[in-house]
Amino acid sequence: MSDWSKALSRFQAAGAGTDTTSGNRGLQIEEPLIFEQGAEGRTGVDLPAPPAAADRLGGLARKGAIGLPGLSEPQVVRHYTRLSQKNFAIDSGLYPLGSCTMKHNPRLNERMARLPGFGDLHPLQPQATIQGALELMDQLAHWLKTLTGMPAVALSPAAGAHGELCGIMTIRAALEARGDMRQRILVPESAHGTNPATAAACGYAVESIPANARGRVDLEALKAKLDSGVAAIMLTNPNTCGLFESEIVEIAEAVHKAGAFFYCDGANFNAIVGRVRPADLGIDCMHINLHKTFSTPHGGGGPGSGPVVLAESLAPYAPLPWVVHGPDGFRLVEEADAASGTAGTIGRLKGFHGQMGMFVRALAYMMSHGGDGLRQVAEDAVLNANYLMAGLGDVLTASFEGPCMHEALFDDRFLKDTGVTTLDFAKAMIDEGYHPMTMYFPLVVHGALLMEPTETESKDSLDQFIAVIRALAERTRQPGAAEWFHEAPRYTPRRRLDETAAARKPQLRWRPPAVTQQAAE
């Protein structure tokens, strides 16, 4: 039996559920591991034998073959092409994952980021040779400061959570500078999960603030916690329930009255960009996920970038480097000293100056939309989410009353007494050609289904999505529904997988069958 046949048998034994001889389903081609397709002596290239050379490795030379698979060129091309087709992305279809949705990434931005003047930069180049890149960073900083109303920005944080770390470190530095050592940070239930982790990493005790019946911060509960021991509040706005914190100005006033700082998680800034400036709400510090607000890819798609905007009270503690513009052009301030006003800095957060590729994509997005276009982006994001809310509100159960911001939150009350869980429902969406929404988050509602369509979806694509979700919701009430949903997905290369085992016992390395058998014995 060939390795391919063994692989097919293994898939079928695991419940792959195919009834064709090849294991394929129409043009959906079965795909074993590349090692399982190899054959000894096969190669895609024909290279001459390397010339004899003296052994200068001191006995460390490899003793045998390294076990790479023997493959022809078409085999390699087909293998990776098929793998790429198994990946679902925003380029494949509507991607309703809430809270951290991948946005459409205009190809123009990719082209700009790959221009040799940006793509070939080296962080150790003399600054005289990178004047264009420094000017771009300066322009990006200008846009971020204008959109947020903040006087300062740190570009170097590598991602959103890194930006949180930057923000809390600047707050701690500001408190230490005034001799005010505080021990606690308040984090509402509706905040992102990284917020309490960041506060704890900076040495603070974390105290939770409950949400009220409207899904917002309970203002009275917050005021009861505020005293001279509180360093800051970390609040996400719009919050993870998809709601704008309508009492945010009162929250800021109460926090400042207690002598604390107001940190805002700006991961959902895409819902309000161009509509409101965080500085006008009383926020002292906020990170911005360039990948969510300004289109740049993140997560599995590329490196992150989480610039942090700072109020005047926190600006002296911003991390290095800073871009400044003088009579001799642009330059980076990389060393702390009193003469340049950097004596209070928290220092560097990473080795170099930030993620240039992300900077280029974000500025390209800003300049191609303009100020009015960015405002329209936010309005369309909110409109699309509310279109989903209106289209599904009578078959799903909305967690809170009233319009939402950029994401629509439902709970699992509509599944009561059906035997169908939120997970079952999400698995059935895969068979319909949709990536599932965010499940079981935020934690403030039971069995959460958090859907974010993004501003780039058309009315037609939203209508199609609504029709599918409505049909699935109505099916949960039909006889035999629980059994039907438990078996989903049916049409994927693999049926329902053991996600717990995959997470806790991942098998990330292929081993030859003989070795596997020996290890088992």
Cα–Cα distance measured from residue 304 to residue 156, given in angstroms and rounded to the nearest whole number: 11
Task: Look at 19-23, 421-425, 477-481 and tell me which has the smallest mean pLDDT.
Answer: 19-23
Q: According to the model, what pLDDT value does residue 3 have?
A: 57
* Fold category of 371-492 in CATH: Aspartate Aminotransferase, domain 1 (3.90.1150)
Q: What is the DSSP string of 121-168?
A: --TTS-GGG-HHHHHHHHHHHHHHHHHHT-SEEE----SHHHHHHHHH
Residue 292 C-alpha from the chain's centroid: 8
Closest C-alpha to 476, from 442, 426, 434, 441: 426
Confidence at 520, pLDDT banded by 50, 70, 90: very low
Q: According to the model, what pLDDT value does residue 250 have?
A: 97
184-188/329-333 β-pairing:
unpaired
> Residue 426 pLDDT > 80, yes or no?
yes
> Residue 214 pLDDT > 70, yes or no?
yes
Higher pLDDT, 322 or 26: 322
Domain coordinates of the chain in residue numbers? Answer: 108-366, 371-492
> Residue 103 pLDDT > 80, yes or no?
no
Structure-block tokens of residue 372: 């009015």
Cα–Cα distance measured from residue 434 to residue 488, given in angstroms and rounded to the nearest whole number: 13
- Give mean pLDDT, residues 10-36: 74
Structure-block tokens of residue 154: 């740190």
Average pLDDT, the chain: 90
> Residue 202 pLDDT > 70, yes or no?
yes
> Residue 338 pLDDT > 80, yes or no?
no
Q: According to the model, what pLDDT value does residue 142 have?
A: 97
Q: What is the pLDDT of residues 112-145, one digit of tens each?
A: 999 999 999 999 999 999 999 999 999 999 999 9
Task: Classify residue 478 by burial, with Cβ atoms within 10 Å: 0-12, 13-18, 19+.
Answer: exposed
Cα–Cα distance measured from residue 354 to residue 334, given in angstroms and rounded to the nearest whole number: 13
- Give mean pLDDT, residues 201-222: 95
Q: According to the model, what pLDDT value does residue 519 have?
A: 47
Q: What is the pLDDT of residues 216-246, one digit of tens each?
A: 999 999 999 999 999 999 999 999 899 999 9
Cα–Cα distance measured from residue 294 to residue 400, given in angstroms and rounded to the nearest whole number: 28
Cα–Cα distance measured from residue 469 to residue 434, given in angstroms and rounded to the nearest whole number: 10
- Give mean pLDDT, residues 473-494: 94
Structure-block tokens of residue 43: 């190669």
Max Cα-Cα span within the chain: 80
Give the up-direction half-sphere exposure of residue 417: CA atoms within 13 A in the CB hemisphere: 2
Sign of the Cα torsion 357, 363, 364, 365 reads positive
CATH number of the 108-366 domain: 3.40.640.10
Confidence at 445, pLDDT banded by 50, 70, 90: very high
Confidence at 507, pLDDT banded by 50, 70, 90: confident
- Helix, strand, coil percent content, the chain, rounded in steps of 5: 40, 10, 50
Question: Are residues 450 and 442 in contact, defined by beta-carbon separation less than 8 angstroms?
Answer: yes
- Give mean pLDDT, residues 371-394: 95
Confidence at 521, pLDDT banded by 50, 70, 90: very low
Give CA angle at 391 (468, 298), nearest 5°: 70
Confidence at 14, pLDDT banded by 50, 70, 90: low
Give the up-direction half-sphere exposure of residue 316: CA atoms within 13 A in the CB hemisphere: 15
Buried b / exposed e along 328-343 (16+ C-beta atoms within 10 A): eebbbeeeeeeeeebe
